[in-house]
Homo-oligomer: A and B are copies of this chain.
Amino acid sequence: MNGTGTPAHGSTGTPAQGTARAGRRGRPRSAAVDTAVVETVLRLLEQGVTIGELSMERIAREAGVGKAALYRRWAGKEELMLDVLRSLDDVSQPEPPGVSVRDDLVVLLEFLRRRGLAKRSSAVLRTVVTQVKAHPRLWNEYHRTVVTARREAVFAVLRRGMATGEVRSDLDVELLAELFVSPMLTRALLHEWEDLSEGLAERIVDTVLEGVRPRERAFSG
């Protein structure tokens, strides 16, 4: 039925390994096609194009690629978008140094801040995350792959802080994590016009740690 014989859509699993696989007979797939397509989709999303406005036809056109080359690799738009999403996660979260909970949290939040500012990520993250959230299947995949790992890192830091007494241990870890993370997320994803200014991570962490109610001249040492 399928003219290509064994389809072998590269989508699920390895993210676009289109280049020649061992013992393949004919002309190998061009890696340039894979990158051109992914880059094009990212560029379009950066420019504010909606996923709904993205068609396989348009992607092929703007990438300078034949439609056949697309369908040879991905079964449809959804499969393609999944690979595009995965291509955003190559930059890994920094390992928190582990000296103090305060500094570790700053490191993790600073990563989010810089990510929200990064040339490639800024618009893409805003747009892609927004767009992807609108498509349950894509969002589930993104969350399962990326978000969960980040949350776990924060949990670990907080649990360590509870053990060392740097953090109150009478609170729910998940809620605690959100107190630190969500202000940064909100600015990065929801309030695009607000600035992710220098030192924001420190201010958030310190304020949440210290509390908003005035302290009655408490010594911290």
> Contact residues of A with B, CB < 8 Å?
48, 50-53, 127, 130-131, 133-136, 165-168, 171-172, 174-176, 178-179, 181-183, 185-187, 189-190, 194, 200, 203-204, 207-216, 218-220
Besides A166-B213, A167-B214, A172-B203, 7 other A-B contacts (C-beta < 8 A)? A130-B133, A165-B214, A168-B213, A168-B214, A181-B186, A182-B185, A216-B219
Q: From residue A129, how far is it (CB to closest CB) to chain B in Å?
A: 9
Which of B50, B131, B167 sits near A212, CB closer than 8 Å? B167
Contact B48 A51 (CB under 8 A): no
In Å, the complex CA distance between A166 and B194 comes to: 27
Contact B178 A187 (CB under 8 A): yes
Number of copies: 2
Decide yes or no: A209 and B207 within 8 Å by CB, A53-B52, A133-B130 being known contacts: no
Return chain B residues, CB-CB under 8 Å to A189.
190
Contact A182 B186 (CB under 8 A): yes
Return chain B residues, CB-CB under 8 Å to A172.
203
In Å, the complex CA distance between A21 and B142 comes to: 50
In Å, the complex CA distance between A214 and B209 comes to: 9
Contact B175 A136 (CB under 8 A): no
In Å, the complex CA distance between A211 and B136 comes to: 35
Which of B136, B166, B190 sits near A48, CB closer than 8 Å? B136
Which of B207, B218, B220 sits near A218, CB closer than 8 Å? B218
